[in-house]
Structure 1
Amino acid sequence: MDNINYEYKIIGNGNTILVIEVGIGNSFYDWYPLIEEIKDYFTVIIYHRQGYGNSSLPKSSRTTRNIAYELNTMLKEIGIKEKYILMGHSFGGLCVQQYVKMYPDEIKAVVLLDSTSYNLEQLESLDTPTINSQTSIDKMVSLVNELSLKSREELISQNTDITSKYEKCVTSEELQDVVEFFGNPNLYKTVADEFANWIHDGEDIKSIDIFPDVPLRVIARDKILSVRNWMKYEIPEEEAVEHENKWRELQEELVLLSDQGKLIIASDSDHLIYIDRPDVV
C-alpha cells in the first residue's frame, strides 16, 4: 500500500460491503457495539486513517482529498472490487463527501452520520461568541497541538476516564491498543492537521460537481437535546439554539447532494448517533 501500513478490521459475513470512516480523533473501537449488531447483514470494513492507531504516520497534509485517495488505495489493495456503502461520522462524513465525488463509480449508497458540512464555514461566522471561543477551528487546532506536546505517559494518565469506557466492548489486548491510541502524541498532531484543513476541504468538495445517483441517507442529531447539552457547558441558550438551527440547516442541505437523498432525525441522540441510537443507523 505505497509502503504505508493501515490498521483495519474486516468484520461480518453479509453480502453487502459497508466501509466506515470514523470521526476526528476517534478510534474504530467506538464502533464495535454497532458492528456487533449488523455483522450478520454486512461485511464491515473499518480502519484508522494515517496518524491514527497503528496506521503509518502521514507523509502528506491531512486534507480530505489525500484521505480519500489513501482509503481508495487501501480498498484496492485488500481486494475490494464490488460497489460498497460508504458511511462517515462527523469529519469522517466530510471525508466521505470528498471520496464519493472522486470515486463515484465505486459507490452503492452513502450514509452521512451527523456529518460535517462542506459549508462548515457558516458555523464559524455565526454570532455565537461563547461557542466560538471553545470550538472554533483555530481553537481546536490550538488545543490538540497542546496535547501533541505532552508525553505518552501524561496522555495515558489524563485519558483514563475515556479509555475505561471501552472495557466492556473490547478484549484486554484491544483495551491496551485503546490506551496506546489515545496516549500517542502523533494522534493529536494528525488531528490538528485535519482541523486546519477543514475550510480548504469544504471548498475542494464544492469544486467537484459529480455526485453519484445513489441512495443517500443523512442522519442528523436531535437539536433540542443538543441545545440542552450545550447549556450544560454554560453556553447561552440563544447561542446553542442558533448553532443547532444552522447545523440542522446544513444537514438538510447535504440531502440535496443526491436526488435519492433523505433526512432522518435521530431523536434522543446527540452527535454520537452510532452510540446513542444505533437502531437508527
Structure 2
Amino acid sequence: MNVEETVDTNVTKTKSRKKRKLWLKIIGGIVGALVLFMGIVFVVNAISNGIEKKNIESYGQYVKVDGKNMNVSIQGSGEQTIVLLPGQGTPSPVLDFKLLIDELTSEYKVVAIEPFGYGLSDKTDKERTTENIVSEIHEAVQQLGLDRYILMGHSITGLYGVSYVNNYPDEVTAFVGIDSSVPNQPGMDVKLPLKSMRFLQTSGMMRLFKKLGGDSYESLAYDEHTKEQMNLISNQVSVNPTLVNELKHLGSNFKNAENSSYPPELPVLLFVQSNNEHNPKWLPLHEEQAKQSAQGKMIPMEGSHYLHHTKFKEIAEEFKTYMKQIHP
C-alpha cells in the first residue's frame, strides 16, 4: 500500500468515526428528550392527581362489605326497587347512570351500586372472579335490607347477572340489560395488554391521551358540573389494580358461564345496540336469550354501547311499560 492509499484509508476511517459519533449524539439526544418528556408527564400527572382528588365531591353512602367501604346511591321512593349495576370499567357508575336514574325515580327506588374499584368505593386485593363480585354485591344489597328488587345493569352485568339471579332467585323479580353481555358471546378469550395499560395509567400517558382525545362527555346531556366530576373520578380510578384484575379474569369468567342462562320463569328485558359493527351476531345472541324467558323481550336501539347516555328517556319509558305489562 503506498502513502497516498494509506492517507485515503485514514481519512475514510476518520469520517466513519465522526459519522458514528454524530449518530450516537442524535440517538442520545432523542433518548434524553423522551426521558425528559416522560418525566414531565409523570410529574404533571402526580401533581394533577393530588389536586383533583381534593376536588372530587362525595355522593351516596358507604356500606361495609368484606371489611371495606362500598359506595351506593339510593334515590327515589317508589314501592318497587331497582338495583343498578355498571359496565366494566365505568369510572363513576352513579354519575354515569344519572340521566337514566332521573327518569326512573318518579316511580321507582333506584339503588346504584359501585363495586370495589369503581367510583368512590374502596379497591380490593380479592380476585375479581364472578363468584367474588356477585357475593360482594349481594352483601351490599343485604346491608341495605333489600329482599325483592329488579336487577338492571349495563354491559358486563349481563355476565355477572346470570350468576346473580341463579344464586338468589327468590330476591330478583326481573332482569333488565342495557346492551348487556351474553355468556356465550364470541371473542372473550383474547389476551389483554394489562401491563401496558397499567404503565399508561401510572406514567401519566393515559391522562395525556384523554386530553388529546377530547372530552368524551362533552356532547352528552349531563350538566357541566357532573361532566367535570366524572372526568376527575376517571383520572383517579381508570385502570386501577382492582379493575385490571377484573380484566385478567374476564376470559375465565366468560368461559365458566358459557352454558349459563336466566331462569325461564324470570322476566327478562334487553335493550340492545342494533348497529354493533364488531359483532354481527349481537342481536341474534340477545334474541335467543330473550326467547329462553317466558316473559322475555328484546328492544333494539340505535346508538353506542352506552345506550343509557343517549336513550335514557326511551329506556325508562319502555321499561315502565314492560313492567306494567307483566304486572298489570
Q: Secondary structure at the match of 1:271?
A: coil
Q: Deviations over 1:1-56 (max 9, x none)?
A: 23110111101111110111111111221111111111111100112110112211
Larger radius of gyration: 2
2:248 to 185, 188, 196: 196
Give the 3 Å change call, closer, same or farther, for CA 97–209 of structure 1 in structure 2. closer
CA distance in 1, matches of 2:150, 2:274: 24
Is 1:41 the counterpart of 2:102? The answer is no
Cα deviation for residue 109 of structure 1 reads 0.5
1:91 to 145, 152, 156: 156
Is 1:222 the counterpart of 2:274? The answer is yes
Cα deviation for residue 265 of structure 1 reads 1.0
Stretches of structure 1 that go unaligned for 5 or more consecutive residues are: 125-135, 228-242
Is 1:73 the counterpart of 2:126? The answer is no
Is 1:60 the counterpart of 2:126? The answer is yes
CA contact (8 A) 2:76 2:109 kept: yes
Give the 3 Å change call, closer, same or farther, for CA 92–217 of structure 1 in structure 2. same
Give me the TM-score of the superposition, normalised by structure 1: 0.77
Q: Deviations over 1:122-173 (max 9, x none)?
A: 235xxxxxxxxxxx8424645533334334xx5555445347639973584x
CA distance in 2, matches of 1:38, 1:248: 26
CA contact (8 A) 2:201 2:207 kept: no
Stretches of structure 2 that go unaligned for 5 or more consecutive residues are: 1-63, 316-328
Cα deviation for residue 74 of structure 1 reads 0.4
Structure-to-structure mapping, 1:156-171, within 5 angstroms: 156=207, 158-160=209-211, 161-162=214-215, 165=218, 169=222
Structure 1 vs Structure 2 CA RMSD: 2.8
Please tell me the residue identity of whatever aligns with 2:72: Y
**Equivalent residue for 1:19?**
83
Q: Secondary structure at the match of 1:259?
A: coil
2:179 to 114, 124, 128: 114
Cα deviation for residue 75 of structure 1 reads 0.8
Q: Deviations over 1:182-228 (max 9, x none)?
A: 122564333322222222212333466772622101211122xx43x
CA distance in 2, matches of 1:220, 1:210: 17
Q: Secondary structure at the match of 2:97?
A: helix
Is 1:10 the counterpart of 2:74? The answer is yes
CA distance in 2, matches of 1:3, 1:253: 40
CA contact (8 A) 1:140 1:192 kept: no
CA contact (8 A) 1:155 1:182 kept: no
Is 1:147 the counterpart of 2:212? The answer is no
**Equivalent residue for 2:307?**
273
Please tell me the residue identity of whatever aligns with 1:217: L
CA distance in 2, matches of 1:142, 1:258: 40
2:234 to 182, 202, 211: 182
Cα deviation for residue 275 of structure 1 reads 1.5
What is the aligned-residue identity percentage?
25
Q: Deviations over 1:226-270 (max 9, x none)?
A: 43xxxxxxxxxxxxxxx432222222232244222111111x222
